[in-house]
Structure 1
Amino acid sequence: MINPAKIEEIAKQISSNMPQGVKNLADTFESKTKQAIQNKLAEMDFVSREEFDIQSKVLIKTREKLTELEAKVAELEAKLAAQENNQPE
């Protein structure tokens, strides 16, 4: 597997040996690229990790409540069916 620290070290060596004009161009390119990506991501309808986690917890609680309610409905339906058939519970 490739060692990320080694790749970082190589990248730093290459960067330190570049002429200053190329470094400036690379820095400008990097900042413009980051800005463009951030602008495009802002246009998309993403949610934060925190919002996602909160909604996941809400969904889990909702599923638990639904399971409880399904069990209660089944119990009530069974009681109703027993009453309709005049069967003791």
Structure 2
Amino acid sequence: MLNSELLHDLSIKIKELTKNSPIADLDKNIHALIQGALTKMELISREEYDVQTEVLKQTKEKLNALEKKLESIEDLLQKSQK
């Protein structure tokens, strides 16, 4: 079995080899490509989603309250016209 020090050294050597090779450029390009694709999809974070959900909930509550007020005003107008 390989000990952890040997694995650590091997890992460092592999990182050093790939740092100056085309693999590093490929990694950067793939990262940029994925980031660009996600940006085009206009994805948002979970935190932003939760904030927007709360805003929508509050907006619906306000709309319902305004609809009830409008209904009562319309009722008053109809009663006063009779």
Shorter-chain TM-score tier: 0.5 to 0.7
Per chain length, whose mean CA-contact separation is higher, i.e. which structure has more relative contact order (CA < 8 Å, sep 6+)? 1
Deviation at 1:34, TM superposition (A): 5.6
**How many residues were matched structurally?**
60
Q: Could you say which structure has the higher helix fraction?
A: 2
Matched residues in 2 for 1:35 and 1:79: separation? 62
Name the structure 1 match of 2:51.
Answer: 54
The gaps in structure 2 that reach 5 residues or longer are 1-17
TM-score by length of 2: 0.57
Runs of 4+ residues over 6 Å off in structure 1: none
Partner of residue 41 from structure 1, selected from 28, 32, 38: 38
User: How do 1:1-80 and structure 2 match up within 5 A?
Assistant: 31=27, 36-80=33-77
The gaps in structure 1 that reach 5 residues or longer are 1-23
Aligned sequence identity (%): 37
